[in-house]
Structure 1
Amino acid sequence: MEGDRDMSRTKVHVIPHTHWDREWYFTTSRSKVYLVKHVKEVLDALETKDGFKYYLLDAQGSLLDDYIKWCPEDEERIRRLVTDKRLMTGPWYTQTDQLVISGESIVRNLYYGMETAQKYGHAMKVGYVPDAFGQSAQMPQIYQEFGIRHFLFWRGVADNTNPKTEFLWKGSDGSQVYAVQMPFGYYYGGNIPEEPGELEAYLDSQIGALEAKASTRHVYFPNGFDQAPIRLNLPELIRTFNELDPEREYVMNEPERFLAEIEKDSKGLPVLEGELMEAKHMRIHKSIFSTRADLKQQNNEIENLIVNTLEPVLSISHALGHEYPHQIVKDIWKLLFENAAHDSIGGCNSDTTNRDVAFRYKQARDIAENLLELHKRWIASRIKQEETFAFTIFNTLPYPRKGVTEIDAYLPEGGFVVRDTNGQQLPYTITEKVEQTDYVLGQHIDLNPSKKVYLPERVFRAKLLVELQEVPAMGYTQIVFDFSSTGDAIAERSNGSCIENEFYAVAVQDNGALRITDKISGRVYADQMVFEENGDDGDSYNYSPPERDLTVSSLGADVETITSKSPVAEELSLRMKLKVPHDLNERAAAVTSAMLPLQASVSLRKGERLIRFSVKVDNRVLSHRLRVLFDTGIASRLSIADQPFGVIARPTTLEEVKVWEREQWTEKPITIEAMQSYAALNDGSRGVAVLTEGVREYEIIGPDHDTIALTLFRTFGFMGKENLLYRPGRASGEKIVETPDAQLLGELSFTFALHVHESGFDEADIAQAAKEYLTPLSSYQLSDFLNGRLIFAFRDEERIFEQSYSLLSFGEDSSVVLSAFKKAEHSEGYIVRVFNPYLDKNATARITFGKSARYELASLDERSKGEALASSDADGAQLPELEHCKLLTVLVTPESK
């Protein structure tokens, strides 16, 4: 009978921890200095304090790396405690956001986080996410791929969806994890009183609230705050709990053991599906996607550069005999991980902290671009060539590509033609040309004065658009600039207002908007590319409209236009000025004393089914938002956007809007949503998609929910504000912290594209179009006159490579999208990661490596699953069919000779 009574008692698992933001309103430097003090106290307590069994160090391995860098003498102490599963760390490297960073960034964060934790002895197999602003629908699949079956979190689930704290979370692909919510936050048990009279009432209230939401006898009682010191007398307090409250059992524990116990006692749990983005009880800051648009852009561009171009080129270079620079790539990723932490990427920081974020982006970009340049040069310098002006073109997608691409070049004076390796002349046009003779030739170095080197009399830095023929899959080819012949590279400029290619005709309407004609179907889309400016009374966490707003549209604005036309591309340039309020006070009074100058470039490339846009804004006003609108004419209940490793359909209206004020939600439910690279509307027979490499935020607006609104930027003046229309009550963050940098005064630039199609969404292959848009062909110019300080001197290499090369290819019937191609971290193989991009169709591919190889299925941690794919030297391997939102990793290992 005694055992029965014990099993019926509530078991309170007291979890000592800290939530350690690496930066926020304070800087990383301050955080690291205090981290040293904190970790030393934790180590001492775990080693010497009787009854202090466990401590959770916020599940981010970077904290141990930070500590060991300054206190290397404690490495063995840490290794002992982590190995004994008393000091808990991992699986993350940093506590990452899940919605505005890329899927590959999430995967690498977990990979390097678990690697770091295992280096010290143990990686916690719990998806511990105490403070991220919402949970991506693809996380169950990602967790499962890393061997993580348990999920412990706070934000994103309300009691109207699940009144209990335990449930099964089902992701977009069908994967499930066992989930436990910390319903009142990770800091819920941080403020324990120590007076016996107060303590008894505290336990009854605090634990009683947890019991009411629990579906088993187990409750999770976290003891800790942000950057708070360890509660050294916690073991004594737990003994006191048991004395004062004999009806409950109190134990010190850590997440892995807690989850193992509670799962055993769980029965008949509800299943929650998809994104966890409800803000009824806790704020999720749903419009943080566009906070500090300048920093978001840098993140997105660097992520795309690393995954889409750098890692594939490094893999090609490795296959050709060069060492793969694993440690350098890891350092680039770790710079991004520091910025991927939920506050850092959120931009909800002080200005001084955001300057640190910006500097890390600069470092990451500089290293990535120079590493890429070195390996492209390494390859180009060993290709068999005699030409002075040979350009090596790299294709980092697994199928041949052709079409118009942009190339940077240093050119002498005079005309020329461009030829491919077959001698075929390629059309081109020069879009920019600036003389840099003294700069370039003044840095030339003659390593071997006996070698005759061509030195032009004049040198121009130029940008060209060249129409390429086939560039091999995941490989390279060459083109040559032949100055012995003369081609016509002059674009015709005029004050026109219309451009076209094979697919589209674009014209400026009288009201300043665009009229786009789909030449294949004859369908006309009027009133496109409308800029909409309105006030932003929000802060670094939330967009929120002012109580008295004034919306300014570019419709009706005076527009100046210029066209530039060549055989390979046509461009339409528009200039306009919007008369807008200078600040929120003027907006409330409907005064428009300021100008917002806009320059928009709309371009059509030969043979390309994209309309490309480039927008520059001279931002001179305060606290406002600018979006660009595309009216699709497709009334929609659902929007379509990409999420990590897949696609997601979201409602364009929310029923919760009717009740949120009455039910006192912490935030207004809104349909401002995140994406990875595109947002689309489709009615089953036609559709429109907006592709972006900038801010990953959109909303479907209009009375019929038929207009895609792409956020370009929003600005604000304070880290936190109180009583917003979209977020009542207290300020998030610190309301005293002003953020003048977040007003983004000065010139801002944005690029995006439009894809119009007469088909269902799956048939339009939007994900592939977005991948190509974000993966431009890359080039390298090998010319002796450039050898010197400009790019560092390079000695002559033995020329042994052919002029064309392909390492990896997918078959013509392949329908997956490539997510990553890289050298495996700890084996001789290469990692090929793909996913199903469709709403309803399955996807597959046949992959062929450039040499005889073994093909095995692998998990996201790059370990073989022990399942080899049928393969042959000639035909490669057929991938299994992938269902909706499924990802797949293949380890391709070349056979040794």
Structure 2
Amino acid sequence: MSKLTVHYVAHTHYDAEVFLTRDETFEIGYSVLLGALAAMREDPQFKFALDQTCYIEPFLRTYPEERPFFEQVIAEGRMEITCGMYAMPDVNIPSGESFIRQVISGKSWCQEELGLEVRCGWLLDTFGQHPQIPQLMAKCGFDHNVFQRLGTLDGHTEYWWKGLDGTELFCHWMRSTYCILYPAPTNLHEFKKFVDARLGELKQHALTPNLLAVSGADLTHIQPHVTRIFEEHNTAYDDIEFIVSTPKEYFDKVKGLVEFPVWEGDLNPVFQGCYSARIAVKQWNRKVETELLIAEMADAIAALLGNPSQAKLIKQAWEPVLFNQFHDIICGSHVDKVYVNTMDRFKSSHVQASQCLEGSLDAIVDAVDTTGEGTPIVVFNTLSWERDDVAECRVGYSEKDVFEIEVRDSQGNLVVSDLLSCERYETGGIKRATVLFIAKGVPSAGYEVYRVLRASSSLAPTTLQTNQSSVWMADIHRDIIENEFFKLEIDAWNGAIKSLVNKTNGWEVIPEDKPFGATVVKELDNGNFWEYNGHCKGDALFPMNRDHPLPAEGDSRAAFSHHYGGDGRVSRGRARMDYNINFVFGKGHFATRIRLYSGLPRIDVHTTLINNDERVRYRMALPTTLKEGVITQEIPFGAIERPKGEFPAQNWMDYSDDEKGIAVLNRGLPGNNVDGETLFLSLLKCTALKEGYGEGSGGFSSSTKTTDGYEIGIPHQFDYAFAPHTGDWKEAQLYRRGLEFNQPLIVLKAESHTGKLPSRQSLYAVCAENVVISAIRHTPNGTVVRLYEAEGKATTNVQLSSAFPIASAQETNLIEAEAVDAHIEDGSVTFDIGAFEIKTFVLRSV
């Protein structure tokens, strides 16, 4: 290879909030950036790369006097804004829509405030990446992506990453971290030895005579002396030339020099412990990002009905969530004071999102015809297909003679229902009650008006059965609950599922030698926030997949919930049937509810754990009889096969062959694994940093409290579900089942009134079952509707229709730019979509 050119890119890795609070980090970050600007004032050769608008925007607001020079060095090409996101996020745990919101927030601010189009992706320290990243980044307007920790150990520094849909993204993998020439010695003798040692890995894997040396550690100050030491080196030696550069200058130089290889695959897992460390952060993220997506959809519909949009308020509510998706925050690898701030931000966004949603739903309900007898109940389906699911509402009566009630749909059909709770008058009449009912065929992205009425003499049929009497316990050892889909036999003493039969094909899921389905395993875990039974390998540069099999029942380092016991009971109902148990679990406490519904092919589990041990982890384990099945996990906007080992999944994980399988659905529990025919779901990791991390690294101090990470005495609640099925995950449409579990039907009571909308209506629909609407959002340019293909099956002539007549439509990229006219046929947007492709349309109504 000819003479090498080393492109030195100065930066600081801005850890937005990890070992220091946001405000404490600002103090260091502001000093770093002022120092970088000072170096550029003094030295025309010095350059700097800057990322994350959650850092840039407050700096310019705090130091407006620096803005003219800030903009000057950008215009001169001496400072490059990279990343193009509000915060440098984790990309596995948040939804794909959250990723897009990160880019919309970051890029729009750069465009509006600085007149910049950010083209350099900068997922510098993200803990793993999934194979939809090439499509997401390319369709968000990025030309390339720079990162560390990821890639194959013997691969090249640059390559084209071919994504799940076929999109290719040019990538640079920093084989020797983002601080390869930091800290650089100040004299030539030591600098020569330093670079000879540091650059060997880069030379070995480079395909061109250009090396990218991104240099700067966590919250570290810049090195203004490098221009001098580079000049001295370049004069003394002729084998390597050092230049101060920017990412743009580097990529302009290397692209097109050679034919770079194409690589396909998943760049996970990285730091498996992060999938369950500080688990409440993951659960709250799933809750609030989902609330915000639903609030956007409701706001768009309300605006189409003539109401003022709340889009600005919803955007404000997104900001704390986007900040919390910074990789070290959402992954749980932070100190206690950061955890407190994180939860406060989530709760603030939750309140704001709930208020916006309530206002929009009220506006929609006001337009719906709810006339008729009884109490009108408007049931909203936020998903893009007609669905059956459970709904709940509360009712109250001042009349003392309402003894029983029933629920009917908009056509007057009786639906199966239960009173979950009931307060009665002395007459026996209902004062107030919580009603659970099964809503059937609720229209796609629409609603239906149900009615709660005084009960007639008839009852809706139910498919629920049990071996237990409604008066006494008929069998003290076994509790059996079943519906038309599944039959469960549960150990009445400890809550373990001894038998689970899929009645559709007769498959027995639970093996005879491991009759403890849904047991919770507590295991010794001597790791920290990043790893199980090991410390953070912070300089690890490639995916790390360690096995986590089911411990033996006699293993002294593990305890199983089914080795303890309590008094399990069946709670009978016509719409739902529950098995409940609770008991002391070691030093802590365990409670679980297993629930079946009449008419729904899903087994819901709600588990509560209270931990009182240090350095342990908890997992749900579901042994199966399925041998050599295929493991498939949902990723943002798609699904991929994965090997055994704990990986980050979105809403579901599946284990199946061509004939049968079982999925585990989750709400905010990303750590999923299949090992030895057993499905695992990580629930809770109880750890801290008592042993330290690296004094001073990124602001870490051993005196900073982290022991709340042990989760001592804190009740944690977990929601997950089992979905046995025939065929594979595509036949079971698990992408629908996972979304249904995470987006329950929304129920709103209404007054009886006329309205311009009918009592039952689909507002948006897609004709192809494998195409899913992921977002509906109001913008000044029209209503944004985003869809993706969910099965890996290219589909032609897909039709997107709306109850609001479509006058025109444009297809855009993911950040709603680069618009081209879309085809409208018979009032619907008609298009073809590739396998796992994501498409965005902007609709304008008549």
* Superposed pair shares fold, TM > 0.5: yes
Contact 2:796 2:831 (C-alpha < 8 Å) held by counterparts? no
Tell me the distance in 1 between the aligned counterparts of 2:757 and 2:69.
52
What amino acid is aligned across from residue 852 of structure 1 in structure 2? I
Alpha carbons of structure 1 residues 558 and 224: separation in structure 2 relative to 1, 3 Å:
closer
Q: Which residue of 1 aligns with 2:571?
A: 564
Contact 1:559 1:574 (C-alpha < 8 Å) held by counterparts? yes
Decide which of 273, 290, 300 is 2:286's aligned counterpart.
300
User: What is the Cα deviation at residue 434 of structure 1?
Assistant: 6.3
Q: Which residue of 1 aligns with 2:840?
A: 889
Q: Which residue of 2 aligns with 1:726?
A: none
Q: Which residue of 2 aligns with 1:271?
A: 262
The residue correspondences of 1:221-232 to structure 2 (distance < 5 A) are 221-232=213-224
1:862 aligns with 2:816: yes
Tell me the distance in 2 between the aligned counterparts of 1:719 and 1:96.
26
- Tell me the TM-score normalized by structure 2: 0.88
The residue correspondences of 1:824-839 to structure 2 (distance < 5 A) are 825-828=779-782, 830-838=783-791
Alpha carbons of structure 1 residues 774 and 314: separation in structure 2 relative to 1, 3 Å:
same
Residue aligned with 1:152, SS? strand
1:806 aligns with 2:750: no
1:19 aligns with 2:13: yes
Alpha carbons of structure 1 residues 288 and 732: separation in structure 2 relative to 1, 3 Å:
farther
Contact 1:833 1:888 (C-alpha < 8 Å) held by counterparts? yes
Alpha carbons of structure 1 residues 576 and 394: separation in structure 2 relative to 1, 3 Å:
same
Alpha carbons of structure 1 residues 83 and 494: separation in structure 2 relative to 1, 3 Å:
farther
Residue aligned with 2:255, SS? helix
Alpha carbons of structure 1 residues 131 and 469: separation in structure 2 relative to 1, 3 Å:
closer
Residue aligned with 2:562, SS? coil
Q: Which residue of 2 aligns with 1:363?
A: 348
Question: Cα RMSD over matched residues?
Answer: 3.1
Per-residue Cα deviation, 1:684-709 (whole angstroms, up to 9, x for no partner): 110000000031111112xxx21101
Residue aligned with 2:634, SS? strand
Alpha carbons of structure 1 residues 403 and 345: separation in structure 2 relative to 1, 3 Å:
closer
User: What is the Cα deviation at residue 302 of structure 1?
Assistant: 1.4
User: What is the Cα deviation at residue 739 of structure 1?
Assistant: 2.0
What amino acid is aligned across from residue 887 of structure 1 in structure 2? I
User: What is the Cα deviation at residue 334 of structure 1?
Assistant: 1.4
Alpha carbons of structure 1 residues 66 and 892: separation in structure 2 relative to 1, 3 Å:
same
Tell me the distance in 2 between the aligned counterparts of 1:63 and 1:673.
30
User: What is the Cα deviation at residue 775 of structure 1?
Assistant: 1.6
Alpha carbons of structure 1 residues 68 and 798: separation in structure 2 relative to 1, 3 Å:
farther
Contact 2:147 2:172 (C-alpha < 8 Å) held by counterparts? yes
User: What is the Cα deviation at residue 181 of structure 1?
Assistant: 1.7
User: What is the Cα deviation at residue 622 of structure 1?
Assistant: 2.4
User: What is the Cα deviation at residue 116 of structure 1?
Assistant: 1.6
Tell me the distance in 1 between the aligned counterparts of 2:690 and 2:152.
26
Q: Which residue of 1 aligns with 2:546?
A: none
Which has the larger displacement, 746-755 or 552-561? 552-561
User: What is the Cα deviation at residue 246 of structure 1?
Assistant: 3.5
Which has the larger displacement, 485-494 or 267-276? 485-494
Decide which of 561, 567, 574 is 2:581's aligned counterpart.
574
User: What is the Cα deviation at residue 735 of structure 1?
Assistant: 6.2
Per-residue Cα deviation, 1:139-188 (whole angstroms, up to 9, x for no partner): 1111111222312111112433x1x3122222222221122222111111
1:157 aligns with 2:151: yes
Q: Which residue of 2 aligns with 1:524?
A: 508
1:131 aligns with 2:131: no
Which has the larger displacement, 640-649 or 482-491? 482-491
Residue aligned with 1:365, SS? helix
Contact 1:540 1:720 (C-alpha < 8 Å) held by counterparts? no
What amino acid is aligned across from residue 681 of structure 1 in structure 2? Y
What's the % identity of the aligned pairs? 21
Which has the larger displacement, 730-739 or 350-359? 730-739
Tell me the distance in 2 between the aligned counterparts of 1:30 and 1:459.
56
Decide which of 152, 156, 173 is 1:181's aligned counterpart.
173
Decide which of 699, 704, 708 is 1:741's aligned counterpart.
708
Q: Which residue of 1 aligns with 2:547?
A: none
Residue aligned with 1:291, SS? coil
Residue aligned with 2:175, SS? coil
Residue aligned with 1:680, SS? strand
User: What is the Cα deviation at residue 256 of structure 1?
Assistant: 1.4
Which has the larger displacement, 326-335 or 230-239? 230-239
Alpha carbons of structure 1 residues 215 and 460: separation in structure 2 relative to 1, 3 Å:
farther
Q: Which residue of 1 aligns with 2:679?
A: 708
Alpha carbons of structure 1 residues 82 and 469: separation in structure 2 relative to 1, 3 Å:
same
Tell me the distance in 1 between the aligned counterparts of 2:481 and 2:458.
23
Q: Which residue of 1 aligns with 2:86?
A: 93
Which has the larger displacement, 362-371 or 520-529? 520-529
Tell me the distance in 1 between the aligned counterparts of 2:728 and 2:376.
43
User: What is the Cα deviation at residue 77 of structure 1?
Assistant: 4.0
Q: Which residue of 2 aligns with 1:255?
A: 247
1:477 aligns with 2:448: yes
Tell me the distance in 2 between the aligned counterparts of 1:722 and 1:228.
17
The residue correspondences of 1:861-880 to structure 2 (distance < 5 A) are 861-873=815-827, 876-880=828-832
User: What is the Cα deviation at residue 24 of structure 1?
Assistant: 1.0
Contact 1:720 1:732 (C-alpha < 8 Å) held by counterparts? no
What amino acid is aligned across from residue 803 of structure 1 in structure 2? S
Decide which of 843, 852, 875 is 2:806's aligned counterpart.
852
Tell me the distance in 1 between the aligned counterparts of 2:533 and 2:793.
36
What amino acid is aligned across from residue 421 of structure 2 in structure 1? E
What amino acid is aligned across from residue 276 of structure 1 in structure 2? L
Q: Which residue of 2 aligns with 1:505?
A: 487
What amino acid is aligned across from residue 539 of structure 1 in structure 2? N
Q: Which residue of 1 aligns with 2:70?
A: 78
Tell me the distance in 1 between the aligned counterparts of 2:422 and 2:65.
57
Contact 2:388 2:600 (C-alpha < 8 Å) held by counterparts? no
Can you give the 5+ residue segments of structure 1 that lack an aligned partner in the other structure?
1-6, 279-283, 437-456, 581-593, 653-670, 724-729, 785-796
User: What is the Cα deviation at residue 132 of structure 1?
Assistant: 1.2
Tell me the distance in 2 between the aligned counterparts of 1:760 and 1:488.
36
Alpha carbons of structure 1 residues 767 and 620: separation in structure 2 relative to 1, 3 Å:
same
Alpha carbons of structure 1 residues 576 and 80: separation in structure 2 relative to 1, 3 Å:
same
1:104 aligns with 2:97: yes
Contact 1:535 1:549 (C-alpha < 8 Å) held by counterparts? no
What amino acid is aligned across from residue 682 of structure 1 in structure 2? S
Q: Which residue of 1 aligns with 2:770?
A: 815
What amino acid is aligned across from residue 244 of structure 2 in structure 1? M
Alpha carbons of structure 1 residues 731 and 10: separation in structure 2 relative to 1, 3 Å:
closer
Per-residue Cα deviation, 1:382-409 (whole angstroms, up to 9, x for no partner): 4444678322221112233334322345
Per-residue Cα deviation, 1:616-648 (whole angstroms, up to 9, x for no partner): 122222221111111222223641100111001
Tell me the distance in 2 between the aligned counterparts of 1:125 and 1:211.
26
- Tell me the TM-score normalized by structure 1: 0.83
Contact 1:719 1:733 (C-alpha < 8 Å) held by counterparts? no
Tell me the distance in 2 between the aligned counterparts of 1:846 and 1:677.
26
User: What is the Cα deviation at residue 715 of structure 1?
Assistant: 0.6
The residue correspondences of 1:417-816 to structure 2 (distance < 5 A) are 417-433=406-422, 462-483=433-454, 495=473, 497-509=479-491, 512=494, 513-514=496-497, 515-526=499-510, 527=515, 528-544=517-533, 550-578=557-585, 580=586, 594=587, 596-636=588-628, 638-652=630-644, 671-701=645-675, 705-718=676-689, 737-745=704-712, 746-782=714-750, 800-811=756-767, 813-816=768-771
Contact 1:287 1:542 (C-alpha < 8 Å) held by counterparts? yes
Alpha carbons of structure 1 residues 366 and 720: separation in structure 2 relative to 1, 3 Å:
farther
Residue aligned with 1:748, SS? strand
Tell me the distance in 2 between the aligned counterparts of 1:405 and 1:368.
21
Tell me the distance in 2 between the aligned counterparts of 1:648 and 1:719.
37
What amino acid is aligned across from residue 464 of structure 1 in structure 2? V
1:113 aligns with 2:106: yes
Tell me the distance in 2 between the aligned counterparts of 1:399 and 1:638.
27
Tell me the distance in 2 between the aligned counterparts of 1:386 and 1:834.
35
Number of aligned pairs? 798
Contact 1:672 1:699 (C-alpha < 8 Å) held by counterparts? yes
Contact 2:98 2:289 (C-alpha < 8 Å) held by counterparts? yes
Tell me the distance in 2 between the aligned counterparts of 1:881 and 1:719.
52
Q: Which residue of 1 aligns with 2:381?
A: 395
Which has the larger displacement, 30-39 or 531-540? 30-39
